[in-house]
A and B are shown apart, each in its own frame.
Chain A
Amino acid sequence: MSVFRPPDDWWYKTPVDFEEKVWIGVALVWCLAMFAAMVGWAVWAKQNPPKESYRTTPKEFARKAVEFIRARQAKDAKGSPLFEKGIPVVDVPQGEDGYLIAKAWAWEPVLRLKKGQPARIRMSSLDFQHGFSLQPANLNLQILPGYEYVATLTPTSAGEFLILCNEFCGKDHHKMVGKIIVTE
């Protein structure tokens, strides 16, 4: 019973059975195929974790984000600045970077994107770690203070999308909900 007793001295010379050889071969091929799939997806497919990120500080990021919000806040029918639940609604023009602030416990601003049009969004946290969880598209990113994460998002359908926080960030973590509006 060599699970508990020492094996024969020559255990490493015992030939491997045909059955095991076949299985190991098949399993190895599957493992390599999965690796190839990941590499191939990175080269040719359209959903990959964003690669671009920069060092920043909460202060510096907040300054740039507020500047962006001031410049690009949407207007309502009467021409006054548009808010939803007190959070500014902001358009991301083509060719310009949008900003999204994560802080305990809110996502700001509400971003307006266009269906089919890529938008570069810079995200960072002003305090704790947060989880960017875009629903129901179900895309999730880790947001850290001190790091600016640049994601290029291309919405494939119009409508309203929520941003939940899915990294625990304190007592009102479950109330930290933001919004992205996608227009046709």
Chain B
Amino acid sequence: MNARVCTVTGLQVENHAANLIKLHAVSAVVFLLLGALAALGIALTRWEAVHLLSPDWYYRLVSFHGVNMLVFWIVFFESAGIVFASTVILNSRQAFAPLAYLAWFLMLAGALMADWVMLFKPFDQATIMFTAYPPLKSHPAFYLGVILFAVGALVNCILFFLNVFNARREGTHTGPVPLFTYAIGAAATIGVYALLHGALAFIPAFLWSMGWIKDIDPAAYRLTFWGFGHPAQQINLCAMVGVWYALSTFTVGALPVNEKVCRTAFVLYVLFINLGSVHHLLVDPGLGAGFKIFNTSYAMYLAVLASMIHALSIPASVEVAQRKRGYTKGLFEWLKQAPWGNPCFAALALSLVIFGFLGGVSGVIIGTAQVNLQAHNTLRIPGHFHTTVVGGTTLAFMGFTYYVIPLIFRKEWWSPKWAKVQPWLFAAGIVVMALAMSALGMLGYSRRHYDMSLEGAPFQSDQFGGVALLFQALVGLGGTAAVASVVMFALNAVATLLLGKAVETVPSFPPVQLPTPEPEGAPEQPRPKFAAPGVFALAIAFLVFFVVMYAANWLSLAKTWEIK
């Protein structure tokens, strides 16, 4: 096998695997940049004092932004992760390499087709949003593009399992797979059933757009679409949690506190998280209360339990590693002395907090069957998922990229200074924007809406009040800051690839702090009852915050009209 040995980790990097990781990673960053430029137009349009775009271009770019970010950027990046987790980490080669290149090509061709339709076809054919709900009908090339992309992604998921199988058969890897591979394995498993649901939604939609079938039942489409759309976000969740474990190992040398617990939590994701598709159907006709309540809770919140387990386990592993290094004073010395100047650590910590405190809590709340009456299709929805898939997953992936470029592409970062600032700017922008969106949503603002002043409509009202104008400005400003940060990230990455110096032995930036092995024959230390007291205290504070927010939403619901 044509391979080199990584100077930092000692792992073997096979050439095909390295090429595929590069192709997927570069494609990911390109689509991230496209999506971000659209985001700027959207944010500055919803700030109605600016109202940058025409309605046509606003709705077009909302469609474009959604598909490029939620599908193209994220899945390309995850495909890079799939190759990495199933080859490099297992010291093995890419199986069926030509097929893997073909899968990448299908994804790229599909993405370009869909983007072409969304940007250049007439409005009625181009603009049907990420959700593509029939009877809105797009150009056939849109559906076909999405289908091609999905086929490529599905091939990648299957190749993941073949690679793992191959690594065992060829003996490059023995024993249980490492935790990162396990996490990506969970993501790939969810990926397979998510993409099969996607086929059930998009293939009929394609046939319908060609005029080969007459009708699509809108309720049935919603069920199958969300059987794809919701698990697709849980692929991101699993991949992000895997990246969190990886970043904590690379930045502070953390080891999972208990592998049994982490791995069980991933199994809970695989088993129950697909039920969350019903989050999107809570106020739909045609479904009963029992069906909605059981499914929206992921079978009594067992998937939420899994996230709460990771929420303790990852920061606890960081605390334990830091305490081992001698930062033992009080509850939080370990946190103060953490490597905050390392963008990888900053991205880890910030995305963990944003995802947990804002994304996780808001998700459970708006996914509550009855509370959803006050959240469905309001700006609270994008307010929520910009704290999960953007402030959480995207930020974690950007943090991971700061290691991927020096370690896989073997290039020194063009500007470490930009890299250090970037995660902070991104986190600040996203938090400000997402909180403002959530506040507007609570006031009743619609998502995907051009003009909340309702100009030109038969009825207007000033019910949203002056405070809404302030929140609109915060959406515009926060969004602009986040886009600026993405541009910094993408330009830095491109400049590094084109102009960066080659890494000679070990990359000079960002710093790597791997776990120190226990000395041979050292007596086993009894573990204290609370190995990570600081994180335990934070976890309790998190729970209190969760309970208060949850209760507040029930109170708000109790005050509105009665409905049954």
Contacts and interface: CB of A to CB of B under 8 A. Distances in A.
A142 B374 contact: no
Interface in A1-54: 1-7, 9, 11-14, 16-20, 22-24, 26-28, 30-32, 34-35, 37-39, 41-42, 45-51, 53
Given A27-B309, A53-B285, A134 B561 contact: yes
Interface of A is mostly: mixed
A66 interface: no
B81 to A, nearest CB: 13
A170 B124 contact: yes
Contacts of B377: 131, 133, 140, 142, 166-167
A50 B173 CA distance: 55
A100 to B, nearest CB: 13
Interface stretch (B94-102, B149-157, B422-430, B527-535): B527-535
B494 to A, nearest CB: 28
Interface string A123-151: 00001110101111111111111111101
Interface string B458-477: 11110110000000000000
Contacts of B562: 46-47, 118, 152-154, 156
A178 B457 CA distance: 9
Contact of A20 (B89, B179, B313): B313
A19 B529 CA distance: 6
Contacts of A14: 258-260
A3 B527 contact: no
Contact of A49 (B174, B255, B283): B283
B211 interface: no
B53 to A, nearest CB: 13
A14 to B, nearest CB: 6
Contacts of A169: 136
Interface residues of A, number: 92
B373 A47 contact: yes
A170 B285 CA distance: 22
B446 A7 contact: no
Contacts of B245: 3
A44 B256 CA distance: 44
B370 A138 contact: no
Given A137-B560, A167-B133, A171-B123, A3 B175 contact: no
Given A20-B261, A131-B377, A170-B136, A38 B297 contact: yes
A164 interface: yes
25 contacts: A4-B11, A6-B174, A6-B175, A7-B179, A9-B176, A12-B260, A13-B260, A38-B370, A42-B369, A45-B370, A47-B370, A47-B558, A48-B289, A53-B285, A134-B561, A138-B442, A141-B283, A144-B218, A147-B218, A162-B459, A169-B136, A171-B56, A172-B55, A177-B458, A177-B459
Given A167-B133, A168-B129, 5 more contacts: A35-B297, A140-B374, A142-B283, A177-B454, A178-B459
The 9 A-B pairs of least Cβ separation, nearest first, read A31-B301, A53-B285, A166-B446, A154-B562, A177-B457, A149-B285, A166-B377, A85-B458, A27-B308
